[in-house]
Amino acid sequence: MREEMEALERQRARLKKEALTQNAALLDTMALIDQLRQEQQELRKKLRAFDMQNSTYQTLVSEYGANSSSSGVAGALYDAEGDEANDDRMVGAPIFQRVLFRRPMPLDAVMACVKESYEAIMAFRAERDFETLDTEILGWHDKRILNARSIRFMLSQMFEYVPPSELVYKTWNLLTSLKLYRHMQPRTVALELLQRVTEDCVIVRLSVSNGDKVHHSILLIARGRIDGGYLITYRSIPLSEGQRQFAATESNYVHLFNWYMFLEKTTPAGVPACEVTFGGGVENQPMEYLRYLMMEVVAGVVRWQTAVGHNKFRLTHG
């Protein structure tokens, strides 16, 4: 009996030792798995960064190739000092800016873009196939064309005894100053001047936060006289085919087309007034973002009224 008990004790000790050995091996294996998973995550991050850089370089190479083959003289317009200054400015710029706006836009290209914007705006104003609420929204009348990936809209309102020249001056200052722009869009992160084409035309980089994301745009802002008043447009700069392909991979880059029109009018009662129309459009965005945008449009146009000093909706009088 004693021998049997001793044998059982020896067996128990052996099993205990084997269990400890197996547990240690298991712990080592689990630690190794965790380490490999961490390394895999780091490698995936590096791969995404390399993919982005590769996409950037491919776009730049295609752009340079297209420029050199189609217009060899164009490169001569930029001297060495200009190239060096431009390269220094681009060092700290975001990747999307380095790809989509590497050089200043020529004046003729800017004027062609402004002309195209005016023609698109007038065509939309003449459009008859649109949706409307048939009622005022905080004093504004709406008109919109919406589909699954894009929207075009405009809101109009009459402001009595207000000259159009006053509103175009104030609106221009709002759109070209970060401090003032935040009166219309408080979540604006950046509004950086990239190029001053003329006194009435600039190119800026706009960044606006939306939750945990920041949406970016590179905008051409222009103002000018039209029949009966003034027009201010701020729209995304035109892109080449290679740049459009790159922008399509950037989920945070937003193509914008917005405008203000200020027309001299007279009310039925004979009162001089300014008819203000705020319009615009966004393309290639999901319906969720388009719904968010329409709420922002109404809120933004009311903030614009306050910023220019003509908000008709006050909590107190006097």
Q: Is residue 145 part of a domain?
A: yes
The answer on 148 and 6 residing in a single domain is no
Its pTM stands at 0.69
Q: For residues 90 and 67, what is the distance between their CA atoms, to the nearest angstrom? A: 19
Which of 258, 262, 257, 252 is CA-nearest to residue 308?
262
Q: Is residue 284 part of a domain?
A: yes
Q: Is residue 89 part of a domain?
A: no
The answer on 153 and 112 residing in a single domain is yes
The answer on 45 and 130 residing in a single domain is no
The answer on 73 and 113 residing in a single domain is no
Task: Identify the CATH number of the domain in which residue 250 sits.
Answer: 3.30.530.20
* pLDDT tens, residue by residue, 156-208: 999 999 999 999 999 999 999 999 999 888 999 999 999 999 999 999 999 99
- 3 state SS of 176: helix
More confident residue, 305 or 249: 305
The answer on 196 and 66 residing in a single domain is no
Q: For residues 231 and 119, what is the distance between their CA atoms, to the nearest angstrom? A: 12
The pLDDT of 253-276, averaged and rounded, is 93
The answer on 124 and 236 residing in a single domain is yes
The answer on 5 and 143 residing in a single domain is no
- Region for residue 161 given its phi and psi (left: phi exceeds 0; alpha: psi -120 to 50; beta: otherwise): left
Quote the number of domains for the chain: 2
The answer on 296 and 149 residing in a single domain is yes
* pLDDT tens, residue by residue, 232-258: 999 999 988 888 888 877 778 888 899
The answer on 66 and 116 residing in a single domain is no
The answer on 150 and 73 residing in a single domain is no
* pLDDT tens, residue by residue, 15-32: 666 665 666 666 666 666
Range of the domain at 173: 107-307
Q: Is residue 94 part of a domain?
A: no
